[in-house]
Amino acid sequence: MARWLLHVDLDQFQAAVEFRRHPELRGQPVIVGGNGDPEEPRKVVTCASYPARAFGVRAGMALRSAARKCPDAVFLPLDVPCYEEASEEVMARLRSFTDQVEVWGWDEAFVAADTDDPEQLARAIRAAVAELDLTCAIGIGDNKLTAKLATGFAKSVGKSGDIAADPPGAHAGMFRLTAANWSAVMAHRPTNALWGIGSRIAARLAESGIHTVGDLMAADRARLAAEFGPANGPYLWVMGRGAGDTEVVTKPPPAVGRSRSETFPRDIEDHAEIGAQVARLAAEVAAEIAAAGRIATRVAVTVRTSTFYTRSKQSKLPEPTTDIPTIVEAALRVLDRFPLDRPVRLLGVRLELAPVTEISGIDTDES
């Protein structure tokens, strides 16, 4: 049996979870974000249902802008615990097929499986997800790159209204992309169609006469290495040929840091209030790492002003600690290094953490 990588991507996830508890909203333009108030300043869309997307609403857009584009939309508040619970339901279903599941956030995962019929497995997974009253698209590939790209085709099949625009062998909700059909599906597409190549790299490739994936396949590796570096250049060439990582990491590596930030509904100018907010954020993130059994080694504070000028400063703690007052005091000392001569829009506190191997055997509950 061959080894296959399947990329499972849940459709309009947050909106779909809301449809489970509000069935009457199905088929309507639904926008999730902030506290569900489209007039709330400085809050953004985290998910838009497909009908809302038809009006041009996208994740990351300000709620006010979304309301202008789609004034009849239903706005709902972000409910993180509910989405986390729904995501765990889905991941548990995936693990019922195999223990080789690598979770990528709430709404997507890679699944590795040895099978002679990956489409049959994909159909079974889609049916299992449908039992949760959710839907998903599945990309089938011989590595993570091809599987991820295949999901995009699975989601877009038939939506353009032009059957000729769909890749050969495409089926709604499911698509296979491997070395066997890589050139037929990808060679004519622009380089930024590749997962991992953004507009900046695509522009640099274009300056070298490389406009399509086919051009990248035919490019000289030495020239790419000279232009993009001895590691990145050859990697771009390999990517252009549809090669990629096949390893599935079932347990994510321990976090190297944890942070909290907040964009305020109004700019803050009072220095005492700024200090109080930094102290609160530092205390919250310190409590989180203590509960997780981790220890802080360094404190960083981020300040974004009303002009969107953003700066971070950091300081190493005298010794690794989980003591909340010590961490708060350190964060305030870092804050003192900022001039604070402009109104503040956002504040953030990040704690760098000691490696897990360094803290084994330490009873953090004594702090």
- Please give the structure tokens belonging to residue 67: 């309301």
- Please give the structure tokens belonging to residue 96: 């019922």
Q: What phi-psi label fits residue 189: left (phi over 0), alpha (psi between -120 and 50 degrees) or beta?
A: beta
Kindly give, in sequence order, each residue whose CB lies less than 8 Å from that of residue 267, ignoring residues fewer than 6 positions away. 306, 343, 344, 345
Q: Please give the DSSP secondary-structure letter assigned to residue 120.
A: H
Q: How many whole angstroms separate alpha carbon 17 and alpha carbon 327?
A: 37
Q: Are 156 and 11 in contact (CB under 8 A)?
A: no
Active site residues: 108
Q: How many whole angstroms separate alpha carbon 58 and alpha carbon 157?
A: 20
CA atoms within 13 A on the CB side of 97: 25
Q: How far is CA 247 from CA 1, 102, 178, 198, in A?
A: 17, 9, 16, 23
Q: How many whole angstroms separate alpha carbon 328 and alpha carbon 339?
A: 19
- Please give the structure tokens belonging to residue 307: 């002009």
